Amino acid sequence: MGAAAGKAAEDVAAASTMTRAEYRLAVAEQIILGWHCARSSGADLAGIWDSDATCTNESLLSAVDEVLLLAEIHAFPMASAARRSMQDALDVAVSCLMEEFLRLKVWDASQMEVRLGVRFAVGKFSMPAADSGVSLSLAFPTTGRISMASTIDELYASGGSQSSRVGAVTMLLDGEFFDELDLISPASLSVLHQIALRVIRAGYTKELLHAFTNAPCDVLDRFLTILGMECALETDHVSFEDAEWWTAEDMIKRWILATKLVAKALAVMQRQLQAQSCGAFDRFKNDYFMAIAKNSIFVLLRFAKNGFTSTEAPDKLVYVLEMYEALSNAAPGLLLLFTAQRVELVSRQVEVVLAKLARALRAMIGGLVARIRTADCPQTTGSAARGVGVHPLTRYAMTCVELLSPHRAALDLILANGAGESVNSLGSLVAVLVTSLERHLEEINPELSNNDDAAAAAAASRHLFLATNASYVARRAVDAGVEPLLGDGWAARRGSLIARYVASYVEACWAPVVACLETAGRKPVKVAAKFSSAFDEAYDGTRVHREIPDPALRDALRKAASEMVVPAYSAYLQNHPKLQKNVRYTSGELDRLLWELFEGEAAERNKL
């Protein structure tokens, strides 16, 4: 007992008929209750310890110790009024200790910020640029939705990949950065011992264990502010509307980064806490750590479950898939932080969130397949608008395939439980998407120019359109690395399909030109003139000057056209040698012209 408290008790005892124990209780009770009432009324009173763990209120601590001592020695009979007063004072004293514990700064993020050069704040965190005093904001960009006409480059530019600036921070955390930091405030250890010692003496260990559920953690709280939503830390509801200034993609990226940071930090925090000697608090270290770990993990789980497990929009598929993967990858390490008695609760909650995310992803995949089957694509410009280019739906479908391909392991696991219509893996999903795409494209009637009103011209344009899109699908499947997932014969079947489209195009476009040479009973000069006119019409028509960007397909079309036209024309000239000097084209000139097909606007510019 402090000198002031002891002297006051002696003075009271000398002036009254109370027992000495009653006087001591009265003095301690007056100090404790007076402080408690003042704090409850909003007065800004110092606690027992300050932020540096220095005792700044000796009289209050002595009063708490006095009540504890009186309780330990059973100073008052069980049913006495003094015993009831002592119990009330003891309750308030322990409450005071709990408040001191919750105010204590056990974890310190300041060294982390200094070493990393990052300032964390709600909604963003910033990092100074190297060798400058300029602060570089590491906020996520606002991204747009995937549109039907998007190319892969446009998707990545609009946020399809992780921000490079966030990647810079992630690379730092992938190393031994945390291991080199002292995340525990050394001065707090002695206070933890003193609080635990008094709680144990008072027999209020359950109250301390309960207080752990509200214990602050400066390190984890800094990372959770990346979510930028204080409500996520305090409530059970999170939704897109809580942060209207962000897109869903922004929120998911923030969540993924926060999850990685929290998982990394928790592992290091546990090692550092276990390495410390905290005196009487040592018996509580595991419970304390698991409480703050559970709190931070449940914030992340609640954020994911309430905000993203109900969305079914296919445009969110890749982002929610990345969230699923991040949680799946982090879960084993997070569960190792808990004892066997505590791990079941956390594991069950992780499984619930993963199951809900998987269910949402399967719904998104179903929506993606439906979109490919029924999508009405907007009008486009260039060769696609003229009926022979890559259709926007084809670009969209294969862009989705390319974005999904890096996530094969997760998709195979999710789809193994069934997404309907024999979709049970990434390979089967790609097969369904391609089949649905081809059926949809078969129903599309390509636009024709004013010169393409004949049935043969329409057929040629259609086959050229189908060949272009089939070739694009094959090329993108190879680029995405999914071709092996489609079976050994897929590439061969795809090649045969493209070859049939090429043959059908040549038959529709160039067979009528060659047929001009088969006119019996006409003068060779007129036959040659008719052939040249038909060739010019076919060659100069808009359908033959359309650009085919795929070199392999372009060469296949040229080769097939040349093999149909040039040999027949050469044979006719050989059978009519007198025409050699009176025809518009030689065989070599025809061959050269045919091998200039499908250069599009580039060919027109070269002619100029």
First to last CA, the chain: 104
pLDDT in tens, 48-98: 887 677 887 888 889 999 999 999 999 889 889 999 999 999 999 999 899
- Give the pLDDT confidence score for residue 238 in this predicted structure: 47
Q: Are 28 and 57 in contact (CB under 8 A)?
A: no
E strand or H helix at 88: helix 81-103
Low-confidence ranges of the chain (pLDDT < 70): 1-17, 43-44, 51, 113-178, 228-246, 376-388, 418-421, 445-454, 520-521, 541-545, 600-608
Nearest Cα to Cα of residue 400 among 160, 89, 43, 41: 160
Place of tokens 């007056």: 30
Bridge partners of 120? 125
Bridge partners of 135? 128
E strand or H helix at 66: helix 58-72
Domain ranges of the chain: 19-103, 385-606
Q: Are 262 and 171 in contact (CB under 8 A)?
A: no
Architecture of the CATH domain 385-606: Up-down Bundle (1.20)
Nearest Cα to Cα of residue 190 among 99, 55, 287, 98: 55
- Give the pLDDT confidence score for residue 11 in this predicted structure: 53
Q: How far apart are CA 400 and CA 395, in angstroms?
A: 9
DSSP symbols for 509-573:
HTHHHHHGGG-TTS-HHHHHHHHHHHHHHHHHSTTTSS----HHHHHHHHHHHHHHHHHHHHHHH
Task: Encode burial over 555-576: b for 16+ CB neighbours within 10 A, e otherwise.
Answer: ebbbebbbebbbebbeebbeeb
Look up residue 450 and give its DSSP letter.
T
- Count of H-run helices and E-run strands, the chain: 25, 3
Look up residue 134 and give its DSSP letter.
P
Q: How far apart are CA 327 and CA 317, in angstroms?
A: 16
**CB-based burial label for 429 (10 Å; 0-12, 13-18, 19+):** buried
* Token pair listed for 149: 């006409």
Sign of CA dihedral 458, 459, 460, 461: positive
User: Residue 87 is which amino acid?
Assistant: Q
Q: Are 516 and 531 in contact (CB under 8 A)?
A: yes
User: Residue 16 is which amino acid?
Assistant: S
DSSP 3-state of 124: strand
Q: What is the distance of C-alpha 520 from the center of its chain?
A: 70
Nearest Cα to Cα of residue 76 among 145, 132, 144, 29: 29
**CB-based burial label for 343 (10 Å; 0-12, 13-18, 19+):** middle
Cα 506 to Cα 252, 556, 564, 592, distances in angstroms? 50, 10, 8, 17
DSSP symbols for 329-387:
HHHHHHHTTS-HHHHHHHHHHHHHHHHHHHHHHHHHHHHHHHHHHH--PPP--GGGTTT
Bridge partners of 55? 49
pLDDT in tens, 557-595: 999 999 999 999 999 888 888 887 778 888 899 999 999
What is this structure's pTM? 0.77
